[in-house]
A = this chain, B = another copy of it.
Amino acid sequence: MDQDIGYRLKAIRTRLGISQRHLARVSGVANATISQIEAGRLNPTVSMLKKVLDGIPMPLSEFFADDFEQADRIFFRADELTEIADGGVSFRQVGANLHNRAIQLLKECYQPGAGTGRHAITHEGEECGILLSGRLEVTVGDETAVLRAGDAYYFRSDQPHQFHNPGNEPCELITACSPPSF
């Protein structure tokens, strides 16, 4: 249970790209607390967890929503997908608790001009995706391509990669990572 909370908090925090210390500062708690919660070494009180989430901000109901307590769910309606918005990029994730899972499937939407940021990302595993609409500029290693609806990609994630929507309409795509990266 404590571990579940930790995994979920870490997933949310890193997805937003903020550090433990930053979250600690804005929520007014000790950074050691967040470190230990995420490590599953601490069993937070409700009010402590709320205090932390207030810094994101995220209501408790959303933190516990979806399949947080039903990791074995099989079917998900469209409006049940876990949504994580981050600037011009929004993610809709199939399933919420993906630690110990093999696949992370996302429906992503990049607003015009939005992207993963100036710096390329590197992590373990592999990932791939296929575009549904709009255009997406994908850079992997020293290769760059602008994809259109129907185009796809597949690469090992230890190669530096970044995404960017160069068009003037939103870009939708389905992506898959293995293992899930937070």
Interface residues of A in 1-48 (CB under 8 A from B): 1-2, 5, 43-47
Q: Which residues of B contact A120 (CB under 8 A)?
A: none
Q: Which residues of B contact A128 (CB under 8 A)?
A: none
Q: Which residues of B contact A43 (CB under 8 A)?
A: 45-47
| Chain B: minimal CB distance from A42 (Å) | 9
Count class of interface residues, chain A: 10 to 19
Q: Which residues of B contact A65 (CB under 8 A)?
A: 61
Decide yes or no whether A69 CB sits under 8 A from chain B.
Answer: yes
Decide yes or no whether A141 CB sits under 8 A from chain B.
Answer: no
| Chain B: minimal CB distance from A69 (Å) | 5
Q: Are A61 and B50 in contact (CB under 8 A)?
A: no
Q: Which residues of B contact A60 (CB under 8 A)?
A: 60, 64, 68-69
